[in-house]
Structure 1
Amino acid sequence: MNQLGAGIAITGVGSAKPETVLDNHHLSQMVETSDEWIQTRTGIRQRRLLDAQGSLSEMASAAAHKAMAMAGLSPVNLDLIILATSTADDLFGSACQIQASLGASNAVAFDLTAACSGFVFGMVTAAQFIRTGVYRNVLLIGADVLSRWVDWSDRCTCVLFGDGAGAVVMQANQQDRLLGFEIRSDGNQNGSLKLAYDARTQEIVKGVTVSRGCYQPITMNGKEVYRFAVQKVPEVIDKALFWANLTTDQVDWLVLHQANQRILDAVAQRLKIPSEKVLTNLSNYGNTSAASIPLVLDEGVQQGKIKPGDIIAASGFGAGLTWGSAIFQWGR
């Protein structure tokens, strides 16, 4: 047990993307759509897809290695691994597979499911372990392979989603760089976006039936999700900034879940944050769910945009429905 009241620093970030690219012209050969239609309504030009032989665990491990290398942290020094995902390789969870792959023999590992809000929820969860002094070195991974659960004949959803993984290292620190957060849920709107269980009745002996498990493809009410995001995301960012005792003028970068360019633009406009402070890679990767925020964060760091001490307002939102925001400074 470490000393109570430890601060938190985000000291490393990394990402991994599949090699296969599916652009809008490919999609126009599959469903009735066009590059112009997709870009106008979503801002997406292409997305990456994990091939049939690939695994989420491998992709997540690749992102994790890069994050740990940047942080200068050996896997054996990890205390905790949190995998934010909705598409684990194993329904019992994939975090332990990643722990074994990394050689993180001293780390506890578990999955966390909060869909596209998963990375923010994972950051808040990791923070509690560090702040209470239980752990010092935490690896947080956001990874999803939504292509496994897309109906490729449904043009309303198949144009949106891609695959990817991103990771950050969070460490106990003398100065606290996690400045504020707020997370929310509303199960009353669950039907707006879901990947639902599809029960198939099976009689195992006469008079005794059980359901044989499988899942339906992703379904979404686009108008409701847009309305929800545009209203709730600015509110939750404002609340997190309030807890951080900051204003939007003090935010260096807005890093939103990459769902739809219209949502990103509307949220930034409501917060009065100029477009040059909004980081996005949506056009290249589509909606990668829990991976989207760390993917953007990694690109911002690698491109030299995000510098040590910069204040980042991050927000995830999606199925559940769930949404949340974390305000943090990059670096030690």
Structure 2
Amino acid sequence: MKRPIQIIGSGAYTPQKCVISGEIDRRLEKPDGWTERTFGISQRFYASPSETTSQMGCFAAQSALDNAGILGSDLDCIMAACGVMEQPIPSTAVLIQNKLGLGESGIAAFDINSTCLSFITALDLAADAITLGRYEKVLVVSSEIASCGLDWNNPEAAAIFGDGAAAIIVEKSTNGSGIIASHMETYGVLQDVCRLESGGTRMRPEDDIDDFLDRAKFKMDGRSALSASLSHMPKFIDRLMAKAQLAIDEIDLVVPHQASGMSLTMMQRRFELSDSRIVNNFVDIGNQIAASIPNALDTALKAGRIKRGDKIMLVGTSAGISLGAIILEY
């Protein structure tokens, strides 16, 4: 059953500091051009100390509100869909709510985390809540600072990431827009392929501070992550399309997680997507964790690549390993 919701506004925020791949080459003591040739990324953006996760999320959220032509007080729910929170307690959504000037509003604010798939998961749950009449206007915002936890001893887990934020506003639709199908699968046997182990209850700094700090850096076996994701993706897409009762060639635009240059190239080849049917902005911003899908979506919307009635697939993978997707009629 199609869930009748529509996106009424979108926005994004890009940190001020642009880091070109030549700078990464020098940091890694590699030849000029090595990073761009190896990973397919020419630049990414890093947040300054003043550009916190919640501050960037606030900027993206305000941009989405302005785009929708509504006020923050018109919202009745704020979902922060971030792979890495600003702090454990209180939630990033609470911090964003307050920075939007809504700290005394009582508007529900909470986090939803499924790492790189957090935006898809939050949008899926927002659609349920709106369809059931629980909320009317929901802000879904993803904001990420990957640069603070990179392990430069592992270039493939460091060179591809960038920081940024993006947001959308959704409400009930009366014009045919809505979520046609959604699907998620998780293969926890691969839990160690991508991990950041400190910051929760597992690692305690009083036990071994050096170990705690080491595990505060993101660890990734990129080859295994890509192999696992690609091996599961074809059947995952088959099950998604069966739910939607659509064929892949009926999808007007695919908006994928910008995981890596290689993953995007292989997805495009596997599903025979022309350049006009896929959004690829990895070369310019890198992997922004959960913010990458809404950022790509906002880019496509602002470029006029999406019009009402188009069928859009939001799709990606995340640590877990998980695969997730939504097919929506815009």
Q: CA–CA distance in 2 between the matches of 1:240 and 1:25?
A: 40
Give aligned pairs, total. 321
Q: Which amino acid aligns with 1:84?
A: A
In structure 2, which of residues 4, 7, 10 is the aligned counterpart of residue 7 of structure 1? 4
Q: CA–CA distance in 1 between the matches of 2:121 and 2:328?
A: 14
Flag the structure with higher strand content. 1
In structure 1, which of residues 34, 57, 60 is the aligned counterpart of residue 57 of structure 2? 60
Structure 1 segments of 4 or more deviating over 4 A?
212-215
1:159-212 CA-to-partner distances (Å, cap 9, x unmatched) read: 111101011111012234211110122221010011112734638xxxxx9xx9
Percent of aligned positions with the same letter in both sequences?
Answer: 28
Q: Which moved more, 1:162-171 or 1:100-109?
A: 100-109
Q: How far off is 1:273 after superposition?
A: 2.2
Stretches of structure 2 that go unaligned for 5 or more consecutive residues are none
Q: CA–CA distance in 1 between the matches of 2:42 and 2:205?
A: 41
Query: TM-score, length-normalised on structure 1?
Result: 0.90
The alignment yields a C-alpha RMSD, in angstroms, of: 2.3
In structure 1, which of residues 202, 216, 221 is the aligned counterpart of residue 206 of structure 2? 202
Closer/same/farther in 2, CA of residues 274 and 157 from structure 1, 3 Å limit: same
Q: CA–CA distance in 2 between the matches of 1:201 and 1:261?
A: 36
Closer/same/farther in 2, CA of residues 6 and 276 from structure 1, 3 Å limit: closer
Structure 2 residue aligned with 1:147:
147
Q: CA–CA distance in 2 between the matches of 1:88 and 1:295?
A: 18
SS of the equivalent of 2:41 reads coil
Report matched runs for 1:140-289 at 5 Å: 140-174=140-174, 175-197=176-198, 199-200=203-204, 202=206, 215-289=215-289
In structure 1, which of residues 39, 51, 58 is the aligned counterpart of residue 36 of structure 2? 39
Q: How far off is 1:146 after superposition?
A: 0.7
Stretches of structure 1 that go unaligned for 5 or more consecutive residues are 204-208
Closer/same/farther in 2, CA of residues 172 and 71 from structure 1, 3 Å limit: same
Closer/same/farther in 2, CA of residues 35 and 301 from structure 1, 3 Å limit: farther
SS of the equivalent of 1:170 reads strand
1:89-134 CA-to-partner distances (Å, cap 9, x unmatched) read: 2212210111122234242111111111111111111111112111
Structure 2 residue aligned with 1:135:
135
1:246-283 CA-to-partner distances (Å, cap 9, x unmatched) read: 21111111111001122112112222222331111101
Contact 1:44 1:286 in 2 (8 A): yes
Q: How far off is 1:35 after superposition?
A: 5.2
Structure 1 residue aligned with 2:100:
102
Closer/same/farther in 2, CA of residues 68 and 240 from structure 1, 3 Å limit: farther
Q: CA–CA distance in 1 between the matches of 2:154 and 2:222?
A: 13
Structure 1 residue aligned with 2:69:
72
In structure 1, which of residues 19, 22, 26 is the aligned counterpart of residue 19 of structure 2? 22
Contact 2:3 2:180 in 1 (8 A): no
Q: Which moved more, 1:15-24 or 1:122-131?
A: 122-131
Q: Which amino acid aligns with 1:39?
A: E
Q: CA–CA distance in 1 between the matches of 2:8 and 2:162?
A: 27
Closer/same/farther in 2, CA of residues 136 and 35 from structure 1, 3 Å limit: farther
Q: How far off is 1:87 after superposition?
A: 2.4
Q: Which amino acid aligns with 2:206?
A: Q
Closer/same/farther in 2, CA of residues 235 and 141 from structure 1, 3 Å limit: farther
Q: CA–CA distance in 1 between the matches of 2:255 and 2:43?
A: 20
Q: Which amino acid aligns with 2:68?
A: A
Q: Which moved more, 1:33-42 or 1:22-31?
A: 33-42
Contact 1:76 1:106 in 2 (8 A): no
Q: How far off is 1:6 after superposition?
A: 6.4
Closer/same/farther in 2, CA of residues 201 and 79 from structure 1, 3 Å limit: closer
Contact 1:82 1:111 in 2 (8 A): yes
Closer/same/farther in 2, CA of residues 8 and 154 from structure 1, 3 Å limit: same
Aligned: 1:84 with 2:81: yes
Structure 2 residue aligned with 1:206:
none
1:259-318 CA-to-partner distances (Å, cap 9, x unmatched) read: 112211211222222233111110111110000011111111111222222211111211
Q: CA–CA distance in 2 between the matches of 1:34 and 1:195?
A: 29
SS of the equivalent of 1:76 reads helix
